[in-house]
Amino acid sequence: MDEVPPYSLQKLIDYLNTASMEAGKSIYLNLILARKRAWDRVYDKIAEYSDRKISPWNINLHKTQEQDLFILEFKPKRGEERSRLFYWKLLTYNEHIIIISFSTAEFWDIRRCLDSFIRCTEGFWYPWIGSKFLENLDLFITSVIGQEATIKVRPLSCYERDKRRKFGIKEIRYPEEWMTFKEFGDELVEDRRKGKFVFLKKIRCYVIHAGSVFKCSISDRAQIMFEPGGSFHLFAELLRPLVDRIQAMQENFRRKMIIKEEKVLVEDKPIILKTIQELQVLTIRPEISNNWFEGFIGLFSNNEELKREGLVSFVLASGNPYFLSHMVDITHGSSVYLSASEEQIRIAPAESITKAETVGTILELVEKFIDPTINVEP
C-alpha cells in the first residue's frame, strides 16, 4: 500500500484532520448499512467482485490492530496506478452493521470504487435519510454541538416534480449564496405554497463553533464530502449521533410479521391454528400536497416508471379511495404491501421480514414524486 495505514480510529481522525487542514485534501465519508450475514461473507463477495472481467480493480480488505477498523484497498488490475484506500469503521448492531467509510481519494474514485462495489454487492447499501432531514440539518447539528454554532446552507442539488419530463423530475437552481436554514426553509415553503414540489438531494453547509470551522456537503443517502481546510475533529462529533439516527431509522424501516402457531388435537387428529401476533406497519401522513392520492396511485400503478427503480407493482385495489399494492423490489429481493387511504400511506411486510432497503426505496420515490416533506422521525 502507498500510505501507512492508521491502526486506530483516533489516529485515523488525527490523520484526516491533518490531511484536511495541512495537505488541503477533501475527505469523503459514506455511511453504509450491511446485513450481518452479508458481512460474514464479505471476503467471498470481494473476491467475486474482483474476479469480474469488467472490474478494473482487485480489492483487498486488510485488518488493523483495532478489531473493528479495516482498510479496503482498491488496486488497479492494469498499469502502475496507485491504490485507493477506504478506511472502514464498523459498528455492530443486532442483525446488521453500520460502516463508516473514510477516504481521501478523488471524487471520481469514490464513484468508480466504493459506489460501484456497494451497488453490485448484495446486503450492502447506502441508508436513506431523506430530503426533510437535509432541510432541518441545522436542528440536528445544534442539538449536538450547541445552540451558539453558526450554520449556513447552500443548496447544491434540488429537484422539482415535473410530469412532462422523461424522468418525472427537473433540476432547479436556487441562488448560489450562503443563507441560514431558516431563510432557505422559507423559500422552500413559499415554493411549495405555489405548487412547486421541491426536494433536496444534496446540500452544502458550513459550521462555525468555538473558533473551529468546517464545510461539508451531504446527500439524502448520507454521503458526505468534507471540504479541505476544515476542522475534522469538530465534524467527528457529529458522526456518532448521525449513526444513531440511521440506526434508529433502520429499526423503523425493518418491518416484520410474526405468526404464532399452536397445535391442537381434535379426535386424535392434529390441527394447526395460526394467529398474527405482530404485524408492523410504517404509517406516514402526507401534509402539503393536495392531490397526492391521485399522484400516488398514478406512480405506483405504472410499472414502466417503477422499472427504473427496480420495483414491480402488483396492484390489488385501486380507487375507492383506497389503494393496495404488492410491491416487489427486484433489486434487493424483498417485498412489501403498500397501501394508502386519503389520509395515510402505509407500508406493511409481505413476508416474515421486509428489508429496510425496500422501504427506503419506496420512501425515496414518495419523497421525489409525491411529497418532499415526508420524514420518518426515529
Partner 1 sequence: MGLISRHEFLVNVAAFLASNVVAGPGGIIPSAGVLLKNYGYELKLPELEKILTFFGKSGEKVPDLCMINSKNGILLVFECKSGITDTKDNTDTNNKLRFIEQIKFFKSEQFQIICKKIYNAQKIEIVVMTYNESLNDISQIIEKDIVDTTSIIVWTIPQRIYKESTLRREYGKHEDRYLDEGLQHGIIFEPPVNDMLIDPTIPDNILLCRILSRLLSWYSKSMLIREDTEQIITVDKFKKTHEDWIRSDERLKDLLRYLSILVPELGTYDRNRNEYIIKLRPRIGAILKKQKDIQQMSDRQFKEELRRRAPKQRLRGRPLTGRIKLKSKDKGALEPFLRK
Point out which residues bind partner 1 (CB under 8 A): 45, 48-49, 52, 120-122, 252, 255, 257, 259, 262, 264, 266-267, 269, 271-285, 303, 307, 310, 312, 314-322, 324, 326, 328-335, 337, 339, 341-344, 346-352, 376-378
Q: Smallest distance from the beta carbon of 356 to partner 1, in angstroms? A: 12
**Quick one: residue 240, left, alpha or beta (phi over 0 = left, psi -120 to 50 = alpha)?**
alpha
Q: Smallest distance from the beta carbon of 84 to partner 1, in angstroms? A: 19
CA 321, distance to chain mean position in Å, is: 31
**What number of CA atoms fall less than 13 Å from residue 79's CA on the CB side?**
7
Q: In what order do the strands lie in the sheet with 311-317?
A: 311-317, 322-329, 334-341, 345-349
Between 120 and 144, CB nearer to partner 1: 120
Nearest-Å Rg of the Cα atoms of the chain is: 23
Between 124 and 232, CB nearer to partner 1: 124
Q: Smallest distance from the beta carbon of 200 to partner 1, in angstroms? A: 19
- CA distances to 37, 74, 225, 315 from 334, rounded to whole Å, are 16, 30, 31, 16
Between 11 and 221, CB nearer to partner 1: 221
Q: How far apart are CA 100 and CA 9, in angstroms?
A: 11
Q: Smallest distance from the beta carbon of 194 to partner 1, in angstroms? A: 26
Q: Smallest distance from the beta carbon of 344 to partner 1, in angstroms? A: 6
Q: Smallest distance from the beta carbon of 375 to partner 1, in angstroms? A: 8
Between 99 and 363, CB nearer to partner 1: 363
Residue 3: its H or E element: none
Residue 345 makes CB contacts below 8 A (sequence gap 6+) with 283, 284, 285, 286, 296, 338, 339, 366
Phi and psi at residue 252, to the nearest 5°: -70, -35
Between 195 and 321, CB nearer to partner 1: 321
List own/partner pairs for 249-252 with CB under 8 A and 24 or more apart.
Answer: 249/127, 249/128, 249/129, 249/376, 249/378, 250/33, 250/93, 250/96, 250/98, 250/127, 250/356, 251/378, 252/282, 252/376, 252/378
Q: Smallest distance from the beta carbon of 217 to partner 1, in angstroms? A: 28
Residue 20: its H or E element: helix 9-21
Q: What is the 3-state secondary structure (H, E, C) of 359-375?
A: HHHHHHHHHHHCCCCCC
Q: Smallest distance from the beta carbon of 87 to partner 1, in angstroms? A: 23
Between 96 and 255, CB nearer to partner 1: 255
